[in-house]
Amino acid sequence: MPKRDYYEVLGLPRSAGPDEIRTAYRRLARQFHPDLNKDNPKAAEEKFKELSEAYEVLVDPAKRERYDRGGFAGVEQDFSPGGFAWSDFRHAQDVEDLLRDNDFLRQFFQQGAAGDLLGSLFGGGFTTRAAPARGRDLELSLSVKLSDLLEETTREVEILRTEKCPACGGNGAEGGTALETCRDCGGQGQVRRTRSRGPAQVISIMECPTCHGTGRVVLERCSVCGGTGRKQVPRHLKIRIPPGLEDGTVLRLAGEGEPGSGSRRGDLYVHVQVEDEPTFHREGRNLSSELSISLSQALLGAQVKVPTLKGKALLTIPPGTQPEATLRLRGEGLPPPGGGARGDYLVTVHVQLPTPLSSAQREGVRQLFGAPEEPPAREERGRGGLFGRRKG
């Protein structure tokens, strides 16, 4: 299906104001009625998605401007990689009541593939009218260094989150002025419609289309939030990083997500990545690294400074240390997740032989250790040597 122009989808001229956009979306969304769509729910979903995508862009002043200037490519950044997905529908709260009041839309989305997505979008509860929907969850990635994990640390981050519009204080009216009583329904939220049917008069009571049943109207919509009363603003948060945290841990900050229709916000999920360090290898609580020492350090012993997570520590190399021996610095590792006694720091030593030797040095080695007689009979000894083959 070729992508249709958003204004065309909503049946609006390019000069349409926010009110017209809202009204058009509500009117078109109401058309998703069982009698019209029962044979082809999949097509109905596609149509509703197309409509919602158009609404999402045109009702948002920033997205609308990008679309007016750059077409579909201008708003590509606002959507998931494959294009508009239900999770990209940020203006769900505008139409939440609409979905709640429309049995078909409700059942359709509860059963359909979009059900889970919309369910989480609106808090999953369509069952009771009174239950306010919980807000959407937010996600964030964060990377920390190994040295940040020695004790509890705090990281300050900035997220974009929907808050009460600072210009109108959340009521959607320009300058935050008081809402007016709806003139069409006198503040009742309901209107009577009288129709003539032959000689009879049919009176029906319906929700006031002007105030959508609230009885109050905004005379002049807030120019900052377009009348939604909400605005995405940068928000600083402090995130507590517990000691000893494992790579890939997900921290949950309850109630720090997007606002819902009531007071319940969604949660914020922080994915924490522990940066790889070239010096240290981590294995649970223990750290390890490698160290080159000289032959005389191995033979005579020494004290060597080695890097640790907190700076440097003195490592004692005992006299007669064998090549590839592992030395242990107790308590220089990491604490276990959540805190506790720190693990150890294991250092594997590589002994560097001095080369090449001068003739005087060679003479010295002969005097110290004697001249080599034959090459070491490694193979024979490995099999049991002089005592013949081992059985078994």
Residues that bind Zn ion (CB under 5 A): 165, 167-168, 182, 184-185, 208, 210-211, 222, 224-225
CB-nearer residue toward Zn ion: 142 or 219: 219
Q: Three-class SS of residue 355?
A: coil
Q: Are 226 and 18 in contact (CB under 8 A)?
A: yes
Q: How far is the CB of 215 from Zn ion (least distance, A)?
A: 6
Question: Considering only CA atoms, which of 131, 142, 99 is closest in space to residue 117?
Answer: 99
Q: How far is the CB of 46 from Zn ion (least distance, A)?
A: 33
Dig out the tokens for 365 from the structure. 């080695």
Q: How far is the CB of 174 from Zn ion (least distance, A)?
A: 8
* Cα–Cα distance measured from residue 285 to residue 339, given in angstroms and rounded to the nearest whole number: 10
CB-nearer residue toward Zn ion: 152 or 180: 180
Question: Considering only CA atoms, which of 96, 111, 92 is closest in space to residue 38?
Answer: 111
Q: Is 64 exposed, middle or buried (CB count within 10 Å of its CB: 0-12, 13-18, 19+)?
A: buried
Q: How far is the CB of 106 from Zn ion (least distance, A)?
A: 24
CB-nearer residue toward Zn ion: 163 or 344: 163
Q: How far is the CB of 213 from Zn ion (least distance, A)?
A: 7
CB-nearer residue toward Zn ion: 210 or 288: 210
Question: Considering only CA atoms, which of 57, 48, 46, 4 is closest in space to residue 26?
Answer: 48
- Alpha helix stretches (DSSP H) within the chain: 6-10, 18-30, 34-37, 41-58, 61-74, 92-101, 103-111, 114-121, 295-300, 359-369, 378-383
Q: Are 72 and 38 in contact (CB under 8 A)?
A: no
CB-nearer residue toward Zn ion: 185 or 287: 185
CB-nearer residue toward Zn ion: 232 or 286: 232
Q: How far is the CB of 66 from Zn ion (least distance, A)?
A: 20
